Amino acid sequence: MKIAALQMVATPDVERNLGAAHRLMAQAADAGATLVALPEYFCLMGQSDRDKLAIAEDAGSGPIQDSLSAAARQHGLWVIGGTLPIRSDDADHVYNACCVYAPDGTQAARYDKIHLFCFDNGRERYDEGLVLRGGSEPVAFGAAVAGSPAPIRVGLSICYDLRFPELYRTLMATPGQPPCDLIAVPAAFTHTTGRAHWELLLRARAVENQCYVIASAQGGLHENGRRTWGHSMVIDPWGEVLAVQPEGEGVVLADLDLDRLAAVRSQLPALAHRRPDGRF
């Protein structure tokens, strides 16, 4: 099964960003991908955080969501739609939502970012809580794929979530569900934090959860002056980076090999060695 992390350098113009996203999804589909993941804020990298409020959509309806649905249907893809702003019951705050679409264009899942980024090193200041409302529930979904006897289980997370391993342990140990085969991490890591921690944290999440990780990022200097780290990548369950793109727009393709996944979990059965109560 081919999967693709799509890297973008989003602008303050929604239409331009949707055009770039569609171009990348078409490129990935032409290369044989069956699942693609867009980056966080793929639809808008505004001049200020409050710009998200102006383009926010109602849950299940709006031009950005419709665009993702249409692309999934057109190309027969599972589309992990990066993130877009979804209205809350507070006009000054929106959810940073990852909406997933099945190959028939129906919405298969929605995850609202739980952990909201806050950073201040004296030169760069970010506080997502000023305009975002945090989600509360982990979300995973099953992606039916030709040739697989069971759906591929995909756990969702967003950017700053990467620093909270307990979220991923919860995704891996949902009662009545198998562990995730793939974890998705759409992101817009800053250049400063990305250079220090991005690959380190992604590989740790892959190793400790013995699963594939698809990390789709913003990567470059944006029109608003912000610089994001990029380095979109796909990582296997042994922590090996299978493919990466440092900066700029592009498609990062790799194979999700279920035999490889089973072999890693069989040879070093760490997931089975966790205490039944999940404490350690």
Catalytic residues: 40, 113, 159
Assigned token pair, 169 = 């342990």
Give the CA distances from residue 62 to residues 57, 108, 109, 226, in Å, rounded to whole numbers and listed in that order: 5, 16, 16, 27
As a whole number of angstroms, the distance between CA 44 and CA 75 comes to 23
Letter string b/e over residues 109-143, b meaning 16 or more CB atoms within 10 A of that residue's CB: bbbbbbbbbeeeeeeeebebeebbbebeebbbbeb
- Helical spans, DSSP H, in 76-198: 165-172, 191-193
22: exposed, middle or buried (Cβ count in 10 Å: 0-12, 13-18, 19+):
middle
Assigned token pair, 168 = 């991923």
Cβ 129 vs Cβ 116: under 8 Å: yes
